[in-house]
Structure 1
Amino acid sequence: MTDFRFSLLKAQDMPLLHQTFLKAFADYVVPIQLNAEQFKSKLQREGIEPGFCVGAFYKEHMAGFILTGVGEWQGKPTAYNAGTGVVPVYRGHKLTQQMYMFLMSKLRESGIEVCLLEVIQGNTAALKSYQRIGMQRTRSLDCFRVRKEELLLRADAPENISIAKSVKPAWEEYRSFWDIAPTWQNTIAAIKRSRNDNVILEARNQEQHLCGYIIFYPKNGAVAQLAVKEEHRCNGVSTALLREAVNQIQAPALMCINIDTKGTGVISYLKQRYFKLILSQYEMQVPIT
């Protein structure tokens, strides 16, 4: 079984890509099964461009794919791998490397300067595949989850702090609160792309100065960003924001995906609230030369 063909995809290929995604990730380290609506939301949030996605085909069947988001990363035009999958029966043919080789010429022609992705640390096969194409680790990332009924939110809300939906997001002020930078799916660009799906709550004091904020997705419980201005930390602002978010989240659990492990303060706070570590990933990238 070596007669594979590779092609860039079109918008009309997305339903077939979704079905192949389900087959490829059904036995993944962490099984991923997204319905049509969830898959569409993923494509939008992560900036997926069909014309930059690769399909590997055996006869009329899609055997594998690379989902590619396009945008800017650290000031450079970047292609983000939002998922590489190979259907189990077609594994063992180095399709990941072949798809990347096919994709690279398209990226060079388009002026893309960097390829970026995340990979589960325990997924040795995928890690080796990416290293073979020149990917280097740039960060270690942790992912956390907690069921709503297990979340510890006993701290009293601080006095003179009000929480309300953002009328006009203060993107640059939010950025000034960060100790660590978010990964691709949690960047400001990703949040803007999926603005209809997320909620932004702000905490303000009596003078209406911004003290902190939280950005989350009510349907799936994903917390994209949670940050508090340094002088307002350790007095309950984060917990007050989290408590209000829980009231609006429809999913049974909350998730904080891909937290830079250098953010020890953030990770310590999540653990104190009973968030459990569910997996660790590496962020990896390679320059396109």
Structure 2
Amino acid sequence: MMIKKLSQCTLDEILTAWNDGFEGYFVQIKMNAEVFLNRLVGEGLSPNHSIVAFDDNKPVGIVLNGFRNVEGKKIAWNGGTGVAPDYRGKGVSRSLMEETLAIYKQENVDTSTLEVIKENERAIKLYEKYGYEISDHLLFITGEYESKISESLGVKDELLRPEQLPSFSFYKEDVPWQCNWLSAKQGEAKIFYNGKNEPIGYAIYRKVWNEDKKLDRIILHQMELLEKGNIEDIPKFIGTITKEKVNITTINFSASNPVSNYLIEQGLKVTTEQYQMKKKMNL
């Protein structure tokens, strides 16, 4: 078996490695060239640090990797590990993991992170074997939501660009990779204040419009309730974003986030559950 950098492979080889690698997976994530390249750029993944495994000239496995500085530390993200069905259970995953961790060490990574489907026990055991530990329980929640308030009484909002949020001390940078503002550059951000102009929450989100130029979906990357906020403020937060009936989808929201509980209580459904796993590289 040979392992190459993504940058050394053709696009057809990369797509074969990805689509075969996730064939029969828990969630359908087959991609064409446009979707794959948009994800590579949008998620800040590195072609020089992502890898593809080959059996002779056949691509049989893939790992996508990216790096960011979070709170002064270098964080690595495994944005997807896939192995073709005929090669599962034959050591390909172990070879990919060992090469990936060697890359992280070369890059002086402080903490490596990934997400894994809750039901994927084989993958969880593999990651635990290499020193990863479960750090959070994450939810994709989706469904139709209709605001029940006509005015967000007692809550004021300030519209920002996502990249402005890190300048505020309350902004939480240590979140799953796809929740970070760097994965939502094309979106919007809001800070919510109470009547005393004290920050009580914030959100990062993207609005998706349909062909009729009507609001179709809101994708929530983050919505956090701060110390001086109350659970009763959550519908007011959403009401400042839209008062229309709309589909809402959360990306990797912590199961302990009060916003997750609120949306589920409103009838939205959990479609995917994942674990975030982390490994301290200096141990």
Please report the TM-score for the alignment, with normalisation by the length of structure 2. 0.81
Percent of aligned positions that are identical? 21
Contact 1:202 1:241 in 2 (8 A): no
Deviations 1:155-203 (A, max 9, x none): 222248676753685414666266x953111113333xxx2x3233555
Residue type matched to 1:78 in 2?
A: I
Paired AA for residue 260 in structure 2: I
Pairing 1:102–2:99 present: yes
Residue correspondence of structure 1 range 99-178 to structure 2 within 5 A: 99-146=96-143, 150-159=144-153, 165-166=159-160, 170-172=164-166, 176=170
271, 276, 283: which one pairs with 2:269? 276
User: Which residue in the other structure is 2:15 paired with?
Assistant: 18
C-alpha separation between the residues in 1 aligned to 2:35 and 2:199?
A: 32
3-state DSSP of counterpart to 1:82: strand
1:49 is aligned to: 46
The equivalent of 1:255 in structure 2 is: 249
Q: What is the rounded CA distance, in whole Å, between the counterparts of 2:54 and 2:162 in structure 1?
A: 46
* Stretch deviating more after TM superposition (162-171 or 267-276): 162-171
**TM-score, normalized by length of structure 1?**
0.79
How far 1:128 sits from its partner (Å)?
Answer: 1.4
Q: Which moved more, 1:69-78 or 1:6-15?
A: 6-15
Unaligned 5+ runs, structure 1? 248-252
Q: Which amino acid aligns with 1:100?
A: M
How far, CA to CA, are the matches of 1:35 and 1:163 in structure 2? 39
SS at match of 1:52: coil
1:281 partner letter: Q
Secondary structure class of the residue paired with 2:48: helix
Question: 168, 174, 177: which is aligned to 1:184?
Answer: 177
Deviation at 1:213, TM superposition (A): 4.2
Q: CA deviation at 1:42?
A: 2.1
Letter of the 2:177 partner, please give it. Answer: W
Give the letter for the 2:36 counterpart.
F
**Does the 8 Å CA contact 1:182/1:259 hold for their aligned counterparts?**
no
Question: What is the Cα-based RMSD across aligned positions, in Å?
Answer: 3.2
- Tell me, yes or no, if the aligned pair for 1:216 and 1:245 is still in contact at 8 Å: no
Shift of 1:139: 1.7
- The offset of 1:124, in angstroms, is 1.0
Q: Aligned letter for 1:260?
A: S
Aligned residues: 272
Q: Distance in 2 between matches of 1:260 and 1:71?
A: 21
Deviates more, 1:121-130 or 1:102-111: 102-111
Is residue 214 of structure 1 aligned with residue 211 of structure 2? no
CA contact (8 A) 1:5 1:57 kept: yes
1:267 equivalent among 257, 260, 267? 260
Please state how far the C-alpha of 1:231 moved relative to its aligned partner: 4.4
Q: Is the 8 A contact 2:145 2:245 kept in 1?
A: no
Higher helix share: 1
Give the superposition deviation at 1:279. Answer: 2.4
Structure 2: which 5+ runs fail to align? 209-216
2:188 to 182, 199, 206: 199
